[in-house]
Amino acid sequence: MFNITPMVRNLLIINVVVFLLQLSGVVSVENFALHYFGSDLFRPIQLFTHMFMHGGWSHLFSNMFSLFIFGPLLERFWGPQRLLAFYLITGLGASLLYSGVRAYELNGLQAKTETYMLNPEPMAFYNYMEEHYSGRYNTEFAVEFRRNPDNPTYIEESKDAVRYVFNQVYNSPMLGASGAVFGILMAFGMLFPNLELFLIFLPIPIKAKYFVLLYGGYELYAGFNRVPGDNVAHFAHLGGMLFAYILVKMWQRNDYSNY
């Protein structure tokens, strides 16, 4: 605890302070979390500000605990300025990959929405809501609509519900330091691959390189096999890891050439 390095300490403080400002209403998710590029709520500054915001105490704790565990050794290896640059670049890279994947997903969602508006029927309504708003819509209405598929009032209400869900998904923001933290995790595994870790949920030693490989594999699987209700930005995590890999390799090549 007393060996925490200066830049890691500063990043921890900034993240905690920003979260407290969120809770007090001084910093708003609407203005500073990352929205989709096509949304009216998007601002370029969000590409950086989102990585200092969090969705709750558990979200904040998990990210800051990982930064606290893995960050100091990297800072001692690189120095504070390079660690900060790494943190910001991988966080930015995470947001860019996430935004690219999100653009693809939202284009598909828009096509499904337009198709439904042309052919509103109960089964299509049920499938749309289950896939994109599972557990948060009026299932009793879906049952009544199925019993009365030609009811014009139900048809219009279903269209309104689909429009609402589309707008909610389209304007839902991404926030958190996870992209940068996963970047730090990747760098840790690359630079100290044989360092053994003891995990709370796995009471046996595991080398850092295997831990990173398993964690990255899980994120890749979860990203391509998302279940309804999963609001974790898996591709942001993968983006942080990808940009970390590229950055570490670039720095290693440049540092080697300088000798």
Q: Are residues 209 and 132 in the same domain?
A: no
Q: Are residues 10 and 92 in the same domain?
A: yes
Of the residues 171, 186, 217, which one is the last residue of a structural domain?
Answer: 171
More confident residue, 225 or 151: 151
Q: Are residues 134 and 157 in the same domain?
A: yes
Q: Are residues 80 and 184 in the same domain?
A: yes
Task: Report if residue 213 sits inside a domain.
Answer: yes
Task: Report if residue 45 sits inside a domain.
Answer: yes
Instruction: Report the CATH number at residue 245.
Output: 1.20.1540.10
d(CA 87, CA 215): 19
Q: Are residues 80 and 205 in the same domain?
A: yes
Q: Are residues 61 and 136 in the same domain?
A: no
**pLDDT tier at 1, thresholds 50, 70, 90:** very low
Q: Are residues 89 and 131 in the same domain?
A: no
d(CA 28, CA 21): 8
Compute the residue count for the chain: 259
Statement: residue 259 has pLDDT above 60: no
Task: Report if residue 220 sits inside a domain.
Answer: yes
Q: Are residues 45 and 83 in the same domain?
A: yes
Statement: residue 231 has pLDDT above 80: no
Name the token pair of 113. 């929405």
Domain limits for position 118: 111-171
Q: Angle of helix 80-118 relative to helix 57-78, nearest 10 degrees? A: 140
In 3D space, the residue among 47, 96, 84 whose CA is nearest the CA of residue 240 turns out to be 96
Task: Report if residue 1 sits inside a domain.
Answer: no
Q: Are residues 93 and 127 in the same domain?
A: no
Task: Report if residue 117 sits inside a domain.
Answer: yes
Of the residues 140, 171, 202, which one is the last residue of a structural domain?
Answer: 171
**Span 21-38, average pLDDT:** 94
Q: Are residues 92 and 206 in the same domain?
A: yes
Whole-model pTM over 0.85: yes
Question: What domain count does the chain have?
Answer: 2
Would you state the pLDDT for residue 150? 94
What is the per-residue pLDDT across 110-140, written as a single tens digit (0 to 9) for each? 999 999 999 999 999 999 998 888 878 888 9
Task: Report if residue 80 sits inside a domain.
Answer: yes
Q: Are residues 193 and 248 in the same domain?
A: yes
d(CA 72, CA 247): 18
Of the residues 156, 171, 186, which one is the last residue of a structural domain?
Answer: 171
Q: Are residues 128 and 151 in the same domain?
A: yes
Place of tokens 């046996």: 204
